[in-house]
Amino acid sequence: MSMRFRLIVAMAAMAGASANVVVDARLMAQDTPAELTGCLDVSVGPWVVETYEDRLHPRAGHESYRIPPRIRFGGPDDRRPSLTRIVVPEDDPAASHVRFAGAESDGDSLRMHLTDGFTGVSATLGRSGDGWTGTARSESDVIPYQMNARPVAMSPVDCESPLPVPGDESAPLGRVVELEGGQAITLGEPLSEQLETVALPPFDWTWVLPTRIAEMELTTPRNAVGVVGRARGLFGATDSIQVHTDPAGLVYSVRLLYVDPGARETLEERLRSQYGAPGTASGVPDVHIYRNPSTSLWLRPWASTRTEILLSDRRR
C-alpha cells in the first residue's frame, strides 16, 4: 500500500470518526432534558368526569389518581434520559402506589405523569410566572376507561419548608351562571331544555407507559356539551360555555372561556368585590382559587392570553 493511499484512508477514517462524534453529540442533546430542579407545591381542583364508563374502575377518587401536594425533581431518569424523575415524599399516601413518576419540559410547556404501571395521572401544563398551570387527567391501561380531569397549579418552594396546609374554605360562592336572555345554568340541577346546546368534538385517549407515550384516537360518548349564548353579570361576557352533567343529568361543572386579553383582570376585580381575596393560595400569580364545602371556583389562564373559569360542585 502506497504512503499516499494510507494517508487518504487515515484521513477518511478521521472524518468518519468526527462525523460520528457530531451525530452522537446531537443524539445526546436530544436525550438531555431541559433542566428541572427543586420542589413544587401542587394545588388541585375537583375531578371533572369528561367521559363516563360505567363498566370500568377505578373512579376519580381512587388512590391511584392522587397527586401529592409536593413533588421534587430528582434528575434524569435512568430508563429515559429525556425525562426528569419526580420524587414523591415517602410519607405521602401516593408514594405507596407510584412506581414511575417523570416529567419533561419543552420551553414553556411541561408534561408529567405518575403511574403504578396500570393506572395513574398525566398532566399538561404551561408557564405562569415562576410556576405552572394546566390540567391533569386519569389514565389506565384498559381502553376505553373513564376519563377524569382536574385543574392543577404548581409553584416553586423551598424543599425544606413545611408542607402546604388547606386554605380557607368558607367563601360564600354562588352556584348559578346567568345568561343573556334571562336563562341560567345551576350546579346540581338539570340543564334547562330551553337552552340550545352543541356537541363537543371527541377527544384523544392517551395511554402513558413508563418508557413511552402512546396516543390512540377513539370516538367516545361524552357527558359534556357546549351551550349557545353568553354569560352576563359576575361571569360576563363569555366567548364559550361548556357544561358537564352526571349520569342523572345534573350539572356538576361549568367551564367558561374568555378570549379578550383583558378579561382576566376584569374577572379578578369582580370576584374580589363579590367574594374577597381568594381563600386558597396556589402560589401561581394568575391562578385564583375560591372554595367552600359544596363549591369550587378556579380562575386561571387558558391558551396564552385567554382566561378560563371552572365552577364545580364538590359534593359529588
Do 302 and 185 sit in the same domain of this protein?
yes
- Same domain, yes or no: 153 and 44: yes
Range of the domain at 121: 39-157
Dmax of the chain from CA atoms? Answer: 96
Average pLDDT of the segment spanning 291-311: 87
In a domain, residue 244? The reply is: yes
The mean pLDDT of 69-95, rounded to a whole number, is 81
Q: Are residues 127 and 183 in the same domain?
A: no
The whole-number average pLDDT for the span 185-200 is 93
What are the distances in angstroms from CA 136 to CA 9, 149, 153, 178, 228? 57, 6, 10, 28, 27
Q: Nearest CA to 58 among 135, 139, 150?
A: 139
**What's the pLDDT at 178?**
96
Rounded average pLDDT over 60-74: 76
The CA–CA distances, whole Å, from 214 to 103, 105, 134, 223, 243 equal 16, 18, 20, 24, 29
pLDDT of the residue at 88: 81
pLDDT band at 47 (very low <50, low <70, confident <90, very high): confident
Overall number of domains in the chain: 2
Contact yes or no for 290/279 (Cβ under 8 A) = yes
Does 231 lie in the same domain as 108? Answer: no
Is 5's pLDDT higher than 80? no
Q: Which three cell numbers stand for residue 6?
A: 494510507
Poorest-pLDDT segment among 24-28, 48-52, 183-187: 24-28
Residue 28 lies in a domain: no
In a domain, residue 163? The reply is: no
Residue 17 pLDDT: 43
In this prediction, residues 223-238 reach a mean pLDDT of 92
Whether 299 maps to a domain, the answer reads yes
Q: Supply the pLDDT for residue 203.
A: 52
The answer to whether the CB of 81 falls within 8 A of the CB of 54 is no
Query: For residue 228, is pLDDT > 90?
Result: yes
The length of the chain is: 316
Same domain, 137 and 84: yes
Average confidence score pLDDT of the chain: 77
CA distance 137 to 67: 11
Judgement on whether residues 104 and 152 belong to the same structural domain of the protein: yes
Question: Quick check: 238 pLDDT over 90?
Answer: yes
Nearest of 277, 279, 222, 219 to residue 255 by alpha carbon = 222
In the prediction, which pLDDT does 217 show? Answer: 43
Query: In this structure, are 307 and 186 located in the same domain?
Result: yes
Higher pLDDT, 97 or 174: 174
Q: How far apart are CA 235 and CA 263, in angstroms?
A: 10
Residue 58 confidence (pLDDT) above 50: no
Q: Which of 34-38, 94-98, 233-237 has the lowest mean pLDDT?
A: 94-98
- Could you please report the per-residue DSSP string of the chain? --HHHHHHHHHHHHHHHHHHHHHHHHHHHHHSPPP--SEEEEEE---EEEE--TT----TTSGGG---SEEEEEEE-SS-TTSEEEEPPTTSGGGGT-SEEEEEEETTEEEEEEESSSEEEEEEEEEETTEEEEEEEEEESSSS--EEEEEEEEEEE-TTSPPP-----------EEEBTTS-EEETTSBPPTTS-EEEPPP-EEEEE-SS-EEEEE-----SEEEESS-B-GGG---SEEEEEE-TTSBEEEEEEEE--TTHHHHHHHHHHHHH-S-SB--S-TT-EEEE-SSEEEEEEEETTTEEEEEEEETT-
**Same-domain pairing of 144 and 265:** no
Of 6-15, 144-153, 274-283, give the lowest mean pLDDT range: 6-15
Mean pLDDT value across residues 88-111: 79
Average pLDDT in the 80-101 region? 77
Find the range with the poorest average confidence among 36-40, 164-168, 213-217, 246-250. 213-217
**Greater pLDDT, 48 or 274:** 274
Is 223 in the same domain as 307? yes
Lowest-confidence pick of 147-151, 255-259, 288-292: 147-151
- The residue-averaged pLDDT of 151-158 equals 92
